[in-house]
Amino acid sequence: MKRIATLVFLLTLLYGCAAREPLNPAYYQIEPGNLPPVDITLNIPGLGPCTDNPDLSLHLDSSQPVNVLVHGCFGSSGQFRGLAQVLAFHGQQTACFTYDDRNGLTRSATELRHAVIQLAEQSHIPQITVIGHSMGALIARKSLAEPPLASPVRSLADLRLVTISGPFDGIASAQTCGRYWLNWATLGLLPVACYVATGPKWTDITYTSSFIREPGALVAQVGNYLKIDTDERGTCRHEEGGRCVESDDVFSLAEQHNPLVETDARTRRVEVRAGHVEIVGDKRVAPTKLITILQEHGVLRPTAPERLSAFSKLLARVYQDDVLLHQDASKNLSQP
């Protein structure tokens, strides 16, 4: 029983997820940057703008590429607001996929798959890039793995995949859940504890799950796959008075490494020294390392030399302003 109590505690803290934050109207919009003119409005289940806006309508140029961003657990579309503005500055459109992070990963991946198909069916978008972080990385890759996609997507000029800090070899903290022989030893309480802690997805995140052990091959429509692994050792998410009060070391390189995922000839693997949240940015830090990698690999367009100063100002404005907005929201919530 002590083992199960410990397990529940560990799983509750699992994934290094940022705590959910209340919706803030200040995050409902993004700066348009150099986005192309809008010519279509779409309403696709699971997809919406990369903001906290409850209006999930997508306003796009149907002839231009779209980047679909997939958050990790306890995440939201608004957490990718800053990255969406980085892309918008470079004239690149985004949509964010939102899902119930307690659902089984296969279910979430299927929902994402259907959303990508609808996005292709309802527009003339020539390229869709699916970008997933953390648990969202697992969902993103699974959504583009066999079986074959529906015929409308086959007409796409390009379908690309980017995963960031994904635990493709299973989550070490959940190893106990994967030891099925403990089911009888705990009189059936082990799966109950795992379910209470994480929901149905517990069967997908262990090192023994079929989701991990049989990831499947990427569909033929995927032109290339950029796999970004983060060496998170010794990183810190939040410091106070020169002391780390919240670690950013969530998944080891061993948890992120899986030969079954990396052997495809279309896969390019990049390893970077960065914290789990630092790599994608949050309300405290801009994702400069990720920006560099995405530009080096052609996912993010290069910044024109004459626009470097404007881009630096955008990063400072977006992320510093977000810090101030976050602090103001926290103060308001703390007031009676």
Task: Kindly list the structural domains of the chain, giving each domain's residue range(s) and its CATH number in brackets, ordered by start.
Answer: 2-331 (3.40.50.1820)
As a whole number, mean pLDDT of residues 208-237 equals 93
What is the percent of the chain with per-residue pLDDT over 70, rounded to a whole number?
Answer: 74
The answer to whether 93 and 61 have CB atoms below 8 angstroms apart is: yes
What pLDDT score does 336 carry? Answer: 38
Tell me the mean pLDDT in the region 29-58. Answer: 91
Cα–Cα distance, 111 to 182 (Å, whole number): 32
Amino acid at 275: G
pLDDT tens, position by position, 19-35: 455 566 666 778 888 99
3-state helix, strand, coil in the chain (%, to 5): 40, 20, 40
> Among 40-49, 54-63, 209-218, 319-328, which stretch is predicted with the lowest mean pLDDT?
319-328
Which range among 33-42, 47-56, 204-213, 308-317 shows the weakest confidence by mean pLDDT?
204-213
Helix, strand or coil, per DSSP, at residue 240:
strand
Asked if the bond preceding 147 is cis, omega within 30° of 0, the reply is yes
Give 71-116 pLDDT, tens digit per residue: 987 666 678 889 999 999 999 999 999 998 878 899 999 999 999 9
Q: Is the pLDDT of residue 300 over 80?
A: yes
Of the candidates 35, 88, 44, 90, the one whose C-alpha atom is nearest the C-alpha of residue 63 is 35
Mean pLDDT of 152-169: 81
Secondary structure (3-state) at 200:
helix
Q: Which of 98, 91, 97, 33 is nearest to 63 (CA)?
A: 91
The angle subtended at Cα 135 by Cα 130 and Cα 137, nearest 5°, is 25
Per DSSP bridges, beta strands 66-70 and 127-133 are parallel
What does the pLDDT read at residue 185?
A: 47
Beta bridge partners of residue 141, listed in sequence order = none
Can you give the pLDDT at residue 329?
A: 37
- C-alpha distances in Å from residue 15, one per residue of 109, 127, 208: 18, 31, 18
